[in-house]
């Protein structure tokens, strides 16, 4: 689903989407999960979506799976 056409996506929806990506990559093992999640979000998420999920992470990241948190932290760097 191309979310880039939506002006705003709710934080709950972004958390759900990020965790779904995490679930997919977690099945590939820890060493591939975090880099895979990071790359997927970098390539496929609209900049506004990335900005919103990063703001959520900065506010504590409630609801984000641990590997998703690590991937978002890696994305910041």
**Three-state DSSP state, 77:** coil
pLDDT digits (tens, 9 = 90+) for 18-63: 999 999 999 998 789 999 999 999 999 999 999 999 999 999 999 9
pLDDT digits (tens, 9 = 90+) for 3-22: 444 446 799 999 999 999 99
Read off the pTM: 0.85
Contacts of the segment 15-18: beta carbons below 8 A, 24+ positions apart: 15/53, 15/56, 15/63, 15/64, 18/53, 18/64, 18/65, 18/68, 18/72
Q: How many helices (H) and strands (E) does the chain have?
A: 4, 0
């Amino acid at each position: 689903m191309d979310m880039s056409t939506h002006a705003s996506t709710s934080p709950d929806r972004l958390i759900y989407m990020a965790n779904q990506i995490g679930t997919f990559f977690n099945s590939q093992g820890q060493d591939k999960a975090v880099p895979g999640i990071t790359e997927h979000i970098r390539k496929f998420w609209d900049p506004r979506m990335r900005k919103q999920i990063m703001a959520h992470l900065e506010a504590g990241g409630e609801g984000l799976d641990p590997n998703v948190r690590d991937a978002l932290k890696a994305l910041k760097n």
